[in-house]
Amino acid sequence: MKKYILGIDQGTTSTRAILFSKDKKVILKVQKEVKCFFPKEGYVEQDAIEIYLSVLNVINEIITRTNISIDEIEALGITNQRETTVIWDKTSGMPLYNVIVWQSNESLPYCEKWEKYKDLIHKKTGLILNPYFSASKIAYILDNIKDGHLKANNGELLFGTIDSWLIYKLTNGKVHATDITNASRTMLFNINTLTYDEELLDLFNIPKNILPQVYECNHYFGDAIINGKSIKITGVCGDQQSSLFGQLCFNKGSSKVTYGTGCFMLTNIGDIPIYSKNGLLTTIAWKINDSIKYAFEGSVFMGGAIIQWLRDELKLLNEAKESEDYANCVSDDLGVYIVPAFSGLGAPYWDNDCKGAIFGLTRGTTKAHLIRASLNSIAYQVKDIIDVMEKECRKNIKILKVDGGATNNNYLMKFQSDILNKTIILPECVETTALGAIFIAGLGSGYFKNLEEIKKLEVQDKIFKPTMDETTRNKLINNWNKAIKATRLYK
């Protein structure tokens, strides 16, 4: 058996690579930022070629810095920002439009047009009708490139979420495929029949021939060609499902939250889909060796991205990590509440029209209070989802596993524990999204024998326990609810 597995985590703001060894250790992780463009209000786009090159860059950096041979890598696992949409020319392999990112609202008018079909869409896909998902983005792009629909119907175009785009480019155009978790986020895939739904394709006017072939997560997807040598791609999974797997949430009822650009909470609900009545999504968690698991999901659009906003737009921070020091240098938030609805609000509200707002400003408000309130807003939004998750699952979630870049912020994690009144567990390796892809690729290649072998790898790093008194907690939550209500009224 070869020595290593390589994991690629292509996220919204960066691409990461992790090299994982046979003795179950992270050898090296590297990261490269990826730019987002904002051509109009509510629009979020990227460059597909830049994304692909960022993957090549991090792979080559791993190889150079560790001085390993590609021949020593057993398999490659890919996890990716989901729903984000690329359409490219089948002949040239070049994208025909900017990547439309999952956060983008430019296809909102399409969703408004399909409003009367929202119950049908939810029943078939488990998703809420929203521009967040791929279907409306595909329709928008086909309408905005020359002869888009004609070329699509003639088989001249290909669509993919980021995993499909990377598989296609890494295999030199030989493989046009996706895994079942990413397919379940397109709003074109029926989570009951496990196939693309012909009725939805007709509704959205999207030809089936542009869609990638769907496989289970630990399928052999082909060979990635790196510097003239090949690595087998044996694991693909959407980022949040991959994180759920990487957090070893294999049992029904186990939950995790990932704090990235957005925040995403998933709870394993077993092998039968359950439909939410309170704004949660039902999604495919994974399919491995013909065994399928489903999950409830709640999404916060603006998680760690609010800290980037403080840094890049307001210039209140030089580096994101400074936010913890600023939050701790004041004793409280001085009554300041920030609702970061920059792209509307996700679960459980699904309000596309509201805008961000700040409440409670006084002459004594400092940038430290604004920064602290921004961090608090992440925790409040997560609490909103967890309240609904517990109601839908009819189960109290006592322990929450967390991961993602923002978990490095001890202030945020402690406040999250306090406002939830729950224990939070942070793993030794917070890159659980990439680890999930590594574990799945390892199962696909035979590197790991089964889930039991993977379970033995869990190592906890930090545990946060609540200490806030109930009176204070209830006051903070009530004020947050008032801020949410006021934000949604202003449109």
Residue 73 parent element (H or E): strand 73-80
The two tokens of residue 451 are: 């889930």
Count CB-CB contacts under 10 A for residue 140: 21
* Confidence at residue 1, expressed as pLDDT on a 0 to 100 scale: 58
428-483 pLDDT, tens digit per residue, is: 877 888 999 999 999 999 999 899 888 888 777 899 999 999 999 999 999 999 99
The secondary structure element, H or E, covering residue 379 is helix 367-393
The predicted pLDDT at position 300 comes to 87
User: Which residues of the chain are modeled with pLDDT < 50?
Assistant: none
CA pair distance 453, 447, nearest whole angstrom: 10
Q: Please tell me the distance from the alpha carbon of residue 482 to that of residue 172, in angstroms, as a whole number.
A: 53
Burial profile 279-315: b = 16 or more Cβ within 10 angstroms, e = fewer: bbbbbbbbbbeeebbbbbbbbbbbbbbbbebbbeeee
Query: What is the pLDDT, as a whole number, of residue 196?
Result: 98
pLDDT for position 466: 95
